[in-house]
Amino acid sequence: MRKQLHLLLFVFLASITSMQAQTYPTTEWSDLADTSWFDADLDEFSITTPEALAGLAELVNEGNTFEGKTITIDEAIDLDGNLWTPIGDAIAIPFSGTVEGNENTISNLWIDLPSQSVAGLFGQVTGGTLSDITIDTSNIVAADTAGTLVGNISTGSSIDNCHAKNVDVSSIGENTGGLVGGLLTDSSIANSSSSGDVVGVNQIGGLAGTV
């Protein structure tokens, strides 16, 4: 058992060293967030820029769940150059709306949160729907419950036709997956995939860590 633990620790440290050698950005998309597109009286919104997507994260993380509202991603979005703050960055701060990706690609996701849980493009999704989204290239370090698309998706949520490729996801804990960290409570994934590297301590999977 001790040899196994030592091997796991070695693999994790080697992975973290390799990832950090990629030189994570030090600036934050949250500092560039654009919320000018949001109107509380509307139920449908279009997002076309990384700044607007960062604005969605800011609004959700301030307590707006977007329940009953639909976000459409109408252009490819490149997140390279800045660190990403998850949309719904805590279990108690979920995204609960609908996102239709229109098969657009979100690329170059950088997340460096070694002491935080629920890490991904979305952190916590509760009662939400995500469809037709592709993420190309993710570099994620988290404490636990991490996935490229969603850290933790729960309670009647669904993912359909969503894909993550060239993923590199590492945690020092559990619930770590290429696409989703945790898939819980009457939630589902359909027609979806992930490919790349996933490292954690337990409850780890290529598609989802915990189901």
DSSP secondary structure of 43-58: SEEEE-SHHHHHHHHH
Q: For residue 197, give both structure tokens.
A: 């590297």
For the cut 60, the answer to whether the pLDDT of residue 200 exceeds it is yes
For the cut 50, the answer to whether the pLDDT of residue 199 exceeds it is yes
> What is the pLDDT confidence band of residue 21, given thresholds at 50, 70 and 90?
low
> What is the pLDDT confidence band of residue 22, given thresholds at 50, 70 and 90?
confident
Q: Which of 11-20, 25-34, 153-162, 191-200 has the lowest mean pLDDT?
A: 11-20
Q: Is the dihedral of CA 54, 119, 191, 99 positive or negative?
A: negative
Q: Which helix (H) or strand (E) holds 189?
A: strand 188-190
pLDDT in tens, 114-171: 999 999 999 999 999 999 999 999 999 999 999 999 999 999 999 999 999 999 999 9
Q: For residue 160, give both structure tokens.
A: 């359909």
What pLDDT was estimated at residue 177? 98
Query: What are the sequence ranges of the domains in the chain?
Result: 2-206
Taking each continuous run of H as one helix and of E as one strand, the counts in the chain are 2, 15
What pLDDT was estimated at residue 20? 46
For the cut 70, the answer to whether the pLDDT of residue 15 exceeds it is no
What pLDDT was estimated at residue 46? 98
Cα 148 off chain centre by: 4
CA–CA gap between residue 71 and residue 49 (Å, rounded): 13
DSSP character at residue 7: H
For the cut 70, the answer to whether the pLDDT of residue 187 exceeds it is yes
For the cut 90, the answer to whether the pLDDT of residue 17 exceeds it is no
Q: Which of 11-20, 61-70, 156-165, 193-202 has the lowest mean pLDDT?
A: 11-20
What pLDDT was estimated at residue 180? 98
pLDDT in tens, 57-108: 999 999 999 999 999 999 999 999 999 999 999 999 999 999 999 999 999 9
What pLDDT was estimated at residue 6? 46
For the cut 60, the answer to whether the pLDDT of residue 25 exceeds it is yes
CA–CA gap between residue 93 and residue 95 (Å, rounded): 7
- The residue with greater pLDDT, 15 or 198, is 198
CA–CA gap between residue 116 and residue 152 (Å, rounded): 13
Residue from 202, 181, 141 nearest 19 by CA: 141
